Amino acid sequence: MQGKGVIKFFAIILAIVCLYQLSFTWVAHKVENDAKDYAKGNAEKERAYLDSISTQPVYPVLGHTYQYCVDRELALGLDLKGGMNVTMQISLRELVQSLSNNNTDPVFQQALTNAQAQLVTSQTDYITLFVNEYEKLAPNGKLAAIFANNNNQDKLKYNATNSQVESYLKDQASVAVQQSYTVLHTRIDQFGVTQPNIQLQKSTNRILIELPGVKEPERVRKLLSGTAKLEFYQTYDNTEIYSLLNNINGILAAKAKTATPAKDTVAKTASVDTAAKKGINADSAKSLISKLKNNTASDTSLAGNQAKLAAQNPLFAVMAPMVYQGEGGQPQLAPGPIVGRSAVKDTAKVNAYLRSAEVKSVIPQSLKFLWSVKPVKDTKVFELFAIKLSGAENGPVLTGDVINDARNDVDQMKGGYEVTMYMNSQGAQKWKTITAEASNGANKKAIAIVLDDNVYSAPTVQNEIAGGVSSISGGNFTQEDTKDLANVLKAGRLPAPARIIGEEVVGPSLGQEAISAGLLSCVLGLVVILIFMIAYYNRAGTVAVVAVLINVFFLMGVLVSIRAVLTLPGIAGIILILGVAVDANVLVYERVREELGLGKTIRVAVSDGFKHALPSILDANISTFLTGVILFIFGSGPIQGFATTLMIGIVTTLFCSLLIARLIFEYMLEKGWDIKFSRPWSSHTFKNANYGFVKNRFKFYAFSGIFIAAGLVSMFTRGFNYGVDFGGGRTYVVKFTNGVTTEQVHDAVDATLGRGTEVKTYGSDKISITTNYMINDNAANADDKVQAELIKALNSTPATKITANQILSHQKVEATIANEVKASAKWTIILAIVVISAYILIRFRKWQFSLGAMVATAHDSLLVLSFFSLFKGLLPFSLDIDQAFIAALLTVIGYSINDTVVVFDRIREFLDHRHAKTDDPAVVINEAINSTLSRTIITALTVVLILVVLFIFGGDVIRGFSFALLVGVLFGTYSSICVASPVIVDFGKKDLK
């Protein structure tokens, strides 16, 4: 074997990298276990412990912080950890309405309404539907007359054609989607969620959001659904505010000490406006700094005397004033609008202090405090800004609707990045006055850019800005910072609210069940495979065991390193990879056994076995990898997790099965160990098999044809059990403490939710309830109303009585997204069949092989669909058609091709070595099929064993998924032998002769 040194070196490096990446998960879990031990069941104390240690080094030797480790640990999906998954769609109707300056033309309004109605069933985007409807209603109408104005004349002319207006609207829609993505990303940061995931789907104007661990779905809905509010505020300087903060600190200390209102303290407090007018003289500054020094000194003893500090300085104990070291090491008040900093765990306490009645009475009406939208870089510390309110209504000096455009640029003069902001004429005039006031005098003031009551940026104004074009730069701006800020600035101009069209809430208890079931099925599947390989292949089976264990280690290490999210389908993917890994070993071992049968030495047989098995292994795994690529591109959420696991697993499987296993065999041969590839009872399995697969092919055709025909009739008459992501609606998983039947639940809920409600068992003590009740109600509280009605209906009878806590999870999908999912699934399956068939054509150079592969994959898909239609409602578990089923179907296609390619490789080999004139191609093909029978049956048996374990122990969440895989693998094995290969005979008689 050549290049052993290189392979060993690469394997060692990969092992070190994987070990390093996995170590973050171990360290993070150790810290979290310490927090649980410390808190003794108190969730608040546990959270406080983790917050306090978040920036502390916890990784031995390397000194990484806890937060650093958490960001790099193995991320768990919602189905394992619990939390909330939200699909949001940008409301383009509101966007178009806004771009028209709320035009009231009846034809325009009717076109908007018609386009919105068509969007439910059409796959066409909203802008195209709107333009088509407008041109239908007004054949000679000009859209430019509605949308062109002075503010957008650089992008849209008054004489623009309707197609040009359509392009403009689509560009603005794309901008609005990107802006909403930035705004939502900003809002998500406020939840403090560990490892949130937000994905932008520009093609559908959708944003997918995953919030692991979230326990307040109502708050999430409210915060994510609101329209962005962008405002500009003048600010106070830190030197103007410190005296007020110091007095607030005194008020709180007095209150804590005496528990009586501190009237005397209040009377002595000066207003901020007065302090601002008079300035701060030298004596008062000295006094402030002296107090500040004392407070700072107190801070240094925080660890040892925290209770005393909190009593003496309640505010400054949780919020550090903004100071810096001046001359002589003396603390000085830092200039600017930032007046303090607090750890994220203390911001709520600071807010409570500032909202207390005693404190509110001393804060001037022209002042409010707002937090920064993001923490200081690499910390969990937020900054508090002093905002100056203006006008009779005490509001902002300017709102975001005056902004025409904002772009992220490179600062040509100073280098670095900046944002260029363009205002309309009305805004430019106000902006000139505001900036002139802020830049007047030596002490330049800042203007705060506020999004949803959080300060996004507060640039200091250096000069008066005329003309409405401004540059915003910062010494630490990154390119991403400027992109985000530009999107935030534009968010106030294009009010296009994002609406929740799909959501899923998984309770932590259901997530824990999924983790337990997934881990159990993983371990049992691995044990079953390893026992079988050793039992069947003797000592060579031990090598396969080692290679599979190394494969799983590498797979997990790579998943963590690329920040992949592990979901329950992902665990199923790992289990399936075990089968793929075993398949590669089986191919090699069966080849070695053949070489040994020819009388070759063990060393030569091993070398030739690996060499001759290589083409089949590569072809089989590449075809499965292509399936994973298609799943990743067209899938979403858990399906993408499954595809990611599948693709990475195939790469690590090839490395371990072809290279690591070969190295182990080389080592054993060098040591002179006795290597056996079978046991006495397994050495002659399927040897000299001579079944008439080709001769009986018409019987197989008849069986498949009858089954598929019956299935098609059932599909058109009985249909399928569509999951909520295919049919739309809301699904609730409810846990019942006493034995409840589906009929009892039906009787309780049908009168309220409608007789179309589906009720299915979901494990031993849980029931799944799916309903279309109020699915078209887009009100913000619609989800709460439906859940309340469900609980009320169930509580109408004693047998089905529940509490809100017994609803373990719920999922909502609107009809719009359900129709798109169905269409996407159909085209994904067709694309998979076409792509794999094209690969077979390129690889085997004969269209008959490609046709055989296409027939086999279509055959398997139809058989599985037929099975799910024919047996729906007849089995004691759900046979739902949903996204997980599509993932299973595509995996079946990949597995079927995997099997088929191995048989095709042997057919090609036999045909190349036959005597052209005397050997009948049909006989040669039948011999080739029989020669691979041992490999085909052994591989199918190992995968079936794994899937049986997954089906029994994998939990209710993926029971339908694992069953679809189980049925598909059986049909796939059958089609490889009895359908795909005979097709070559029937369509290639002339070419093969």
CA-to-CA dists, residue 873 to 387, 488, 710, 760, 884, angstroms: 63, 51, 16, 10, 19
Distance CA 191, CA 214 (A): 8
- Give per-residue pLDDT as tens, 649-668: 999 999 998 899 999 999 99
Residue 771: both structure tokens together? 């309903």
Task: Tokens for 447, please give them.
Answer: 């203007």
Token couple for 884: 């997980």
Regarding whether 175 and 281 lie in a shared domain, the answer is no
Q: Measure the CA–CA gap between 364 and 411, rounded to whole angstroms.
A: 39
pLDDT grade for 284, boundaries at 50, 70 and 90: very low
Mean pLDDT to the nearest integer, 74-78: 78
Place 797 in a pLDDT band, splitting at 50, 70 and 90: confident
| Domain containing residue 280 | 238-366
What CA–CA distance (Å, rounded) separates 806 from 800? 11
Residues 698-707: contacts with CB under 8 Å, at least 24 apart: 700/974, 700/978, 700/979, 700/982, 701/979, 701/982, 704/859, 704/863, 704/975, 704/979, 707/863, 707/866
Question: Is residue 445 exposed (0-12), middle (13-18) or buried (19+ Cβ within 10 Å)?
Answer: buried
Read off the DSSP letter of residue 978. I
| pTM for this entry | 0.70
**Pair 633, 648: CB distance under 8 Å:** no
For the segment 49-58, the average pLDDT, to the nearest whole number, is: 79
Predicted pLDDT of residue 415? 66
pLDDT tens digits for range 229-280? 788 999 999 888 999 998 998 888 888 777 544 444 333 333 344 333 333 3
Q: Of 42, 73, 104, which residue is a domain's last?
A: 73
- Of 200, 227, 254, the residue that ends a domain is 227
Cβ contact 357:381 at 8 Å: no
Q: Which 3 state secondary structure label does DSSP give 639?
A: helix
- Cα gap 900→843, rounded to integer Å: 13
Is residue 248 assigned to a domain?
A: yes
Please tell me whether residues 58 and 150 are part of one structural domain.
no
pLDDT at residue 233 in the model: 92
Structural domain contains residue 529 = yes
What sign results for the dihedral spanned by CA atoms 115, 116, 118, 119? positive
Q: How confident is the model at residue 703 (pLDDT cuts 50, 70, 90)?
A: very high
Going by pLDDT thresholds of 50, 70 and 90, the confidence category of residue 412 is low
Please tell me whether residues 188 and 282 are part of one structural domain.
no
Per-residue pLDDT, 475: 55
Q: Is the pLDDT of residue 184 over 80?
A: no
Rg of the chain in Å (alpha carbons): 34
Instruction: Quote the mean pLDDT of the chain.
Output: 80
| pLDDT for res 331 | 80
pLDDT tens column, 617-649: 888 788 788 888 887 887 666 677 778 888 999
Q: Please check whether residue 190 lies inside any domain of the structure.
A: yes
Q: Tokens representing 868?
A: 């799910």
Residues 775 and 714 in one domain: no
In angstroms, the CA 794 to CA 196 distance is 34
User: How would you label 365-388 residue by residue, b for 16+ Cβ within 10 Å and e otherwise?
Assistant: ebbbbbbbbbbeeeebbbbbbbbb
Domains: count for the chain: 5
Is 977 inside any structural domain?
A: yes
What is residue 38's three-state secondary structure? helix
DSSP secondary structure string for all residues of 105-136: -HHHHHHHHHHHHHTTT--S-HHHHHHHHHHH
3-state SS assignment for residue 880: strand
Q: Decide if pLDDT at 293 tops 60.
A: no
pLDDT at res. 42? 80
Antiparallel, parallel or unpaired: β 83-90 and 75-76:
unpaired
**Residue range 363-387: average pLDDT?**
87
Mean pLDDT across 790-803: 86
Better-scored residue on pLDDT, 142 or 416 = 142
714 has pLDDT over 90: yes
Positive or negative: CA dihedral 435, 437, 443, 446 = negative
Question: Ramachandran region of residue 234, left (φ > 0), alpha (ψ -120 to 50) or beta?
Answer: beta
What average pLDDT does the segment 63-75 reach? 84
Residue 299 has pLDDT above 50, yes or no: no
Lowest mean pLDDT, pick from 491-495, 860-864, 886-890: 491-495
Q: Are residues 846 and 701 in the same domain?
A: yes
Q: Does position 170 have pLDDT exceeding 50, yes or no? A: yes
- Please tell me whether residues 801 and 826 are part of one structural domain: no
- Evaluate whether 973 touches 899 at the Cβ level (below 8 Å): yes
d(CA 626, CA 618): 12
Helix (H) and strand (E) counts in the chain: 37, 25
**Can you tell me the distance from the alpha carbon of 325 to that of 343, in angstroms, rounded to the nearest whole number?**
21
Give the pLDDT of residue 708: 93
Do 714 and 737 share a domain, yes or no? Answer: no
Residues 538 and 578 occupy one common structural domain: yes
Q: What is the pLDDT of residue 12?
A: 92
d(CA 686, CA 753): 58
What pLDDT does residue 460 have? 87
Residue 475: CB atoms within 10 A of its CB come to: 6
Mean pLDDT across the stretch 189-211?
69
Best-predicted range by mean pLDDT (169-178, 244-253, 747-756): 244-253
DSSP string, 566-624: E-HHHHHHHHHHHHHHHHHHHHHHHHHHHHHHTT--HHHHHHHHHHHHHHHHHHHHHHH
How far apart CA 65 and CA 62 sit, in angstroms, is: 9
Residue 186's φ and ψ, nearest 5 degrees, are -65, -45
Q: Which residue among 366, 384, 411 closes a domain? A: 366
Per the CB < 8 A criterion, the answer to whether 556 and 548 are in contact is: no
Tens digits of residue pLDDT in 158-168: 888 989 999 98
Element (H, E) at 231: strand 230-235
pLDDT at 960 over 80: no
If asked whether residues 64 and 103 sit together in one domain, one would say: no
Do 170 and 245 lie in one domain? The reply is no
Among 132-136, 137-141, 326-330, 459-463, which stretch is predicted with the lowest mean pLDDT?
326-330
Q: Is 152 exposed, middle or buried (0-12, 13-18, 19+ CB in 10 A)?
A: middle
647 in any annotated domain: yes
Q: Is residue 418 part of a domain?
A: no
**Angle at CA of residue 742, ends 736 and 744, nearest 5°:** 80
Instruction: Give tens-digit pLDDT for 537-565.
Output: 888 999 988 998 899 899 999 989 988 87
Mean pLDDT, residues 661-677: 89
The three-class DSSP label of residue 490 is helix
Same domain, 629 and 699: yes
Query: Is residue 380, in this structure, part of any structural domain at all?
Result: no
* Cα–Cα distance list, 919 to 75, 409, 664, 697, 926 (Å): 58, 73, 41, 20, 12
Centroid of chain to Cα 989: 50
Q: State which H helix or E strand residue 406 sits in.
A: strand 403-410
Is the domain of 958 the same as that of 925? Answer: yes
What count of Cα atoms within 13 Å lies in the side-chain half-sphere of residue 458? Answer: 29
445 part of a folded domain? no
Count other C-beta atoms under 10 Å from residue 836's C-beta: 27
Per-residue pLDDT of 846-856, as tens digits, reads 888 888 888 88
